[in-house]
């Protein structure tokens, strides 16, 4: 029988008593979906799913899409992004490095994804954990005065400027990338499309700028808010076990990967991503 249990006081719901490869009734699914929207992440343990089943289960939450470089996508299911340090015939089978600073995915896009479902297939004995932070909680904890001050501010996100922070292992953006990667601006207080609740959108340890200000002028307020955003009471560090699924709401949660021994141990994660263009729950 379906059971929903908070992960911590500040973030997340653990979903128990389901097998995601079996039929989940609309009534049960509605409860799961609501818990996702309310608490920003869902944890479902002990699951055994094929790439097809992973994509099918993700589809119940929204439209699946892929915005990342296709060379790291699962061969048979291009909707699945492979995160791994494993190599096959000398070539990496997945992206070896996933965001080690606090971030939401695709923040630099006009339409960032609504969420992602990460599934653990192989995990190292130590490390490779993932942190999650609840941006509803972070926003709600701000003093009213500060809420009023940031209400109409916008953040300007530069993919070029963010690159060395998010991916220190990758080469600097090429001339062509610099030309293609235009800055985007998004509200600093993000109103959730489904619930209407407000979430803080300030990024992690990346120099985001406030619209109308220089990076230097923005820094005091932005860095303060970035620190509030990840106060321990709104965050949770997940130690992965094989078979764990975490679905995060990318509109209201940030996350961050942690290091592990990449030469002596293996990590293999599969990720699906839900488009941010659709704002209401799709029919089952």
Site residues for Mn ion per CB under 5 A: 99, 105
54 classed as catalytic: no
Shortest approach of ligand OGA to residue 146 CB, angstroms?
Answer: 28
Shortest approach of Mn ion to residue 230 CB, angstroms?
Answer: 14
Q: Are 245 and 105 in contact (CB under 8 A)?
A: no
Q: Which two tokens stand for residue 37?
A: 């929207």
Hey, is 86 helix, strand or coil?
Answer: coil
48 classed as catalytic: no
Catalytic residue among 103, 159, 209, 267: 103
d(CA 121, CA 43): 15
In sign, the C-alpha dihedral spanning 140, 143, 147, 150 is: negative
278 classed as catalytic: no
CA distances from residue 52 to 80, 120, 181, 182, 214 in whole angstroms, order as listed: 9, 15, 32, 34, 46
Nearer to Mn ion, 101 or 141 (CB): 101
Nearer to ligand OGA, 127 or 207 (CB): 127
Catalytic residue among 100, 159, 186, 255: 255
What single-letter DSSP state applies at residue 162? H
Catalytic residue among 100, 105, 192, 256: 105
Q: Are 277 and 106 in contact (CB under 8 A)?
A: no
Q: Write out the residues near ligand OGA by the rule CB under 6 A.
A: 83, 98-99, 105, 116, 118, 130, 255, 257, 269, 271
Nearer to Mn ion, 99 or 124 (CB): 99
Q: Are 10 and 46 in contact (CB under 8 A)?
A: no
**Which residue of the chain is nearest ligand OGA when measured via CB?**
257
130: partner contacted, choices Mn ion, ligand OGA, none (Cβ within 5-8 A by kind): ligand OGA
Torsion of CA 72, 205, 134, 209, to 10 degrees: -100
Nearer to ligand OGA, 4 or 101 (CB): 101
Shortest approach of Mn ion to residue 199 CB, angstroms?
Answer: 16
271 classed as catalytic: yes
Residues annotated as part of the active site: 103, 105, 255, 271
């Amino acid at each position: 029988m379906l059971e929903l249990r908070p992960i911590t006081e500040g973030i997340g719901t653990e979903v128990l008593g389901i097998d995601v490869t079996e039929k989940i009734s609309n009534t049960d699914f509605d409860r799961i979906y609501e818990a996702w929207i309310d608490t920003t992440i869902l944890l479902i343990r002990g699951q055994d799913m094929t790439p097809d089943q992973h994509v099918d289960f993700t589809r119940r939450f929204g439209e699946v899409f892929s915005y990342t470089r296709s060379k790291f996508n699962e061969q048979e299911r291009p909707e699945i992004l492979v995160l791994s340090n494993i190599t096959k015939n000398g070539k990496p089978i997945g992206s070896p490095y996933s965001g080690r600073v606090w971030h939401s995915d695709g923040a630099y896009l006009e339409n960032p994804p609504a969420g992602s479902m990460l599934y653990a297939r192989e995990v190292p004995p130590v490390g490779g954990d993932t942190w999650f932070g609840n941006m509803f909680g972070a926003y709600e904890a701000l003093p009213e005065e500060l809420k009023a001050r940031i209400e109409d501010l916008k953040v300007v996100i530069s993919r070029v400027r963010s690159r060395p922070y998010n991916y220190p292992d990758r080469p600097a953006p090429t001339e062509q990338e610099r030309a293609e990667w235009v800055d985007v601006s998004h509200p600093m207080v993000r109103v959730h499309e489904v619930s209407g609740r407000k979430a803080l959108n300030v990024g992690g340890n990346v120099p985001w700028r406030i619209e109308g200000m220089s990076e230097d002028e923005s820094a005091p307020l932005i860095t303060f808010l970035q620190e509030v955003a990840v106060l321990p009471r709104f965050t949770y560090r997940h130690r992965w076990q094989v078979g764990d699924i975490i679905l995060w709401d990318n509109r209201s949660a940030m996350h961050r990967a942690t290091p592990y021994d990449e030469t002596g141990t293996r990590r293999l994660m599969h990720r699906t991503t839900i488009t941010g263009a659709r704002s209401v729950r799709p029919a089952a």
